[in-house]
Structure 1
Amino acid sequence: MFFHQDATFDQLSIHRVGNKSQEEFYILSEQPVPLENDDVLPPLLMQYFMSPFAKVNEVYRLFHPNGELALNEIYHFTKQFFKEQLAFHEYSQQIAKHLYEVCMHPKIKPGEVYVVSLNNVQIEGENYDAVGIFKSENKETYLKVYPNQGGFQLDYEEEAININKLDKGVIIVNVEEEEGYKVLVVDQTNKTEAVYWKDDFLKIKIRNDDFNQTGNYLKVYKNFVNEKLDDMFELEKADKIDLLNKSLNYFKEKETFDQEEFEEEVIGNPIAATMFNDFRSGFEDEFDSPFQSSFDIADKAVKKMEASYKTVLKLDKNFHVYLHGKREYIEKGFDEEKGMNYYKLYFENES
């Protein structure tokens, strides 16, 4: 868990980065922003920079595709800064120049880059120093109303920044250096060109901890049920919902995941279990994220995935049937006289 309420920053540098593919330029400031005697701006900046990370659970690591971590530019410069081999402002300039080099998609917007050195960032119960890199791309127009000669005057400001809408950000925590640090990422834009922030600029991969093991396993099993089981078995929609409910209940009720136990209690069919293992192996190979045969179940990951599990039968526009269990209490049939499908439900009490 990430906790930033006690975090502070003592250095801030701002630069502007354009789109290299559009022959725009970058502008590097000559010195950091002085904030020593300002009691208002630092709290506002902390809100702007840090509040979007309050609900971030995924922890990433810096990496390089060929396996040589030192070739990751962000890792290289950040390591030098953490080891006091590179001054803060020079570090921020190197970060801005690297960002400029990867802004090659024609739709990437120019914007300001903020680099801060952070103190007392808490992650997973421990306090560390960190660096934050943030980019503002989208500007807004704000109205300003103020008293004037017994009434009010209206004015506006264009190209202003909404401190409640951070576009992109990353926090690199000074811990586990040899593994690529612990990295938290925010990217509010989900368009195709936005992948440059994670893939080209940072070069990160998910840290394969209990949170990600839990979430990914549920995700892979959901995709398996919805996409692959039909290749071998004839399943009704209610059957698929029942299988998904069983998997979700397993992760809700257990504290530790066990692969053999899951195959026996949830999948319950050797052929289907073999199919799932093959399907899961494809995910592991594609994302370089192997599953452990046993891991502690992360409740937050279960709650996050639960929202994506659809447990509702939608029948035309007339009925929604919510299935929470007891598959044997619902039967599907076809009424030849009406020429329509039907479901028969069995229950004991009506409320």
Structure 2
Amino acid sequence: MLFKEYIYIESLVLHQIGSNSCQEGVHYSKELVNIEQDLKDLLRSYFLSPFKTDDYYHFFHSSDIDLNEIFRYSSQIFANKGVFLEESKKIALYLYECSRHPGIKRGELYVVYFKNCILNGETIDAIGLFKSETKDKFIKVYTTPNGFNLEQNEGVSINKVDKGCLIFNIEKENGYIVAVVDNTNKGAEAKYWTDDFLHVCPRKDSFNQTQNMLSLCKSFVSQLPGENGKVEKATYMNRSVEALKEESVNINTFAERVFETPKLVSEFKQYKEIYQRERDIEIDDTFETESAAIKRRATGTMTTIKLDRNFDINIHGGEQYIVRGYDEERKMYYYQLFFKEEK
């Protein structure tokens, strides 16, 4: 967990990244930005507020981690803060070179040096990279001798970071611990920030293992035939969530507990192999779980039965107390719910 209230900005530099497809180039700052404490506090909130989970990544490269550009530039800064400005220019240029898709917008790159980050019980430094692409219009009110007047301006909204990452000075040998956020780009250009520029992949820790297992279960259950409506699917998802609340998970025990029948257990294991291969991830046969990765909303509509426009049934367990049937007279399906008391 990241304790944001203790973090403060030590250094900040801003570069302007033009459109690569229009050959606009990069406009570099020649010095660090000098800002007052009140603005530092505002910027700290702006930069850090999107990072709300313990979903972390690490830098990687297929042959040598030192060939990962952002890993190398970050390492230079952590080793000698005196090169912060020059290395930030290299980061800006590399971002520009990675922004070849015509759908990628021009914007500002903020390179920030953070102090006093507390992560996993350690106090460490971090480097933040943030790109603002979306401009909002706002109205400025100013006084005149006869009253007031209005003026339209355009600027960066402090309510949402478009793209960002935090590189924590810990576990360098494993590609550092990196947090990533991307709130824009939904088309073919969507992956340039994480894949092309940062070149990161999810850490193989308990949080990601748990989250990947939950996603695997959701994907597997969603493609099962629904002869008996959604009750069975909701049951499987509820069992999956409960099984992942244990301190550790063994894939064999998990599959038998959740899916019960040998046929489904075998199908689930086969599906797991395909799922991992298609997504280039690896879920260990045995791993420690992380409760923070399990959220009820993660199962989404899998545990909710929507009946026409009249009713929703949220199933959180007790599937033995719900029965599905068909009324020949009304030519409609129905559910029977059995309970002891109404709350």
Tell me the TM-score normalized by structure 1: 0.90
Which of the residues 44, 48, 51 maps onto 2:49? 51
Task: Quote the Cα distance in structure 1 between the aligned partners of 2:137 and 2:147.
Answer: 19
Any gaps of 5 or more consecutive residues in structure 1? none
**Which of residues 302, 307, 310 is equivalent to 1:310?**
302
Deviation at 1:159, TM superposition (A): 2.2
Distance 1:190 1:17, change over 3 A: closer
**C-alpha spacing 1:97/1:349, structure 2 compared with 1 (3 Å):** same
Aligned: 1:158 with 2:153: yes
Residues 319 and 40 of structure 1, relative CA distance in 2, 3 Å threshold:
closer
Larger deviation, residues 301-310 vs 312-321 = 301-310
- Tell me how far apart the structure 1 counterparts of residues 147 and 55 of structure 2 sit (CA, whole Å): 48
- Deviation string, structure 1 residues 289-315 (Cα, Å, up to 9, x no partner): 322233332111112654525322222
- Give the one of 167, 173, 197 matched to 1:172: 167
Shift of 1:257: 2.1
Identity %: 39
Q: How does 1:42-191 map to 2 (within 5 A)?
A: 42-53=40-51, 55-64=52-61, 66-84=62-80, 87-146=83-142, 152-191=147-186
Which stretch has the larger CA shift, 97-106 or 163-172?
A: 163-172
How many angstroms does 1:108 deviate by?
0.9
The separation in 1 between residues aligned to 2:151 and 2:123, in whole angstroms, is 42
Residue 270 of structure 2 is aligned to residue 278 of structure 1 = yes
What are the superposed Cα offsets for residues 314-336 of structure 1, whole Å, 9 maximum, x if unpaired? 22223222323232322222222
Partner of 1:4: 4
**SS of structure 2 residue aligned to 1:119:** strand
For 2:336 and 2:81, the matched residues in 1 are separated by 72
CA offsets 1:158-204 (integer angstroms, 9 cap, x no match) = 22122222111111111111211100111111412232111111111
Does the 8 Å CA contact 2:255/2:268 hold for their aligned counterparts? Answer: no
| 1:47–1:164 contact (8 Å) kept in structure 2 | no
Is 1:241 the counterpart of 2:246 in the alignment? Answer: no
Question: Residue 208 of structure 1 aligns to a residue in which SS?
Answer: coil
SS across alignment from 1:308: helix
Note if 1:336 corresponds to 2:322: no
Given that 1:257 and 1:294 are in contact with CA atoms closer than 8 Å, whether structure 2 keeps it comes out as yes
Q: Assess if the C-alpha contact under 8 Å between 1:128 and 1:175 holds in 2.
A: yes
Matched letter for residue 59 of structure 2: L
Structure 2: segments with no counterpart, 5+ residues: none
Pick closer, same or farther for the CA change 1:85–1:118 going to 2, 3 Å: closer
In 2, distance between residues paired with 1:139 and 1:203? 26
Q: Determine helix, strand or coil for the equivalent of 1:286.
A: helix
SS at match of 1:341: strand
Aligned-partner Cα distance in 2 for 1:304–1:24: 46
8 Å contact kept, 1:244–1:309: no
Shift of 1:16: 0.6
Q: Structure 1 41/9 Cα, relative in aligned 2: closer, same or farther at 3 Å?
A: same
Q: CA deviation at 1:58?
A: 0.8
Partners of 1:315 and 1:278 lie apart in 2 by 33
Distance in structure 2 (CA, Å) of the matches to 1:110 and 1:336 = 62
- Checking the alignment, whether the CA contact within 8 Å between 1:80 and 1:86 is kept in structure 2 is no
Q: For residues 31 and 255 of structure 1, what CA distance do their matches in structure 2 show? A: 50
Distance 2:113 2:291 in 1: 32
Q: Distance in 1 between matches of 2:229 and 2:125?
A: 53
Preserved contact between residue 8 and residue 116 of structure 2 (Cα < 8 Å): yes
CA shift in 2, pair 1:214/1:98, >3 Å:
same
Number of residue equivalences: 342
Deviates more, 1:100-109 or 1:186-195: 186-195
**Separation in 2 of the partners of 1:309 and 1:125?**
36
Corresponding residue for 1:15?
A: 15
Shift, 1:152, TM fit:
4.8
CA deviations on 1:88-132 (whole Å, 9 max, x unpaired) are 111010000000101111111101111111211122221111111
Matching residue of 1:209? 205
Deviation string for 1:217-236 (max 9, x for gaps)? 11101110111x33xx8553
Is the 1:141–1:156 Cα contact (8 Å) retained in structure 2? no
Q: 2:194 aligns with which of 193, 198, 210?
A: 198
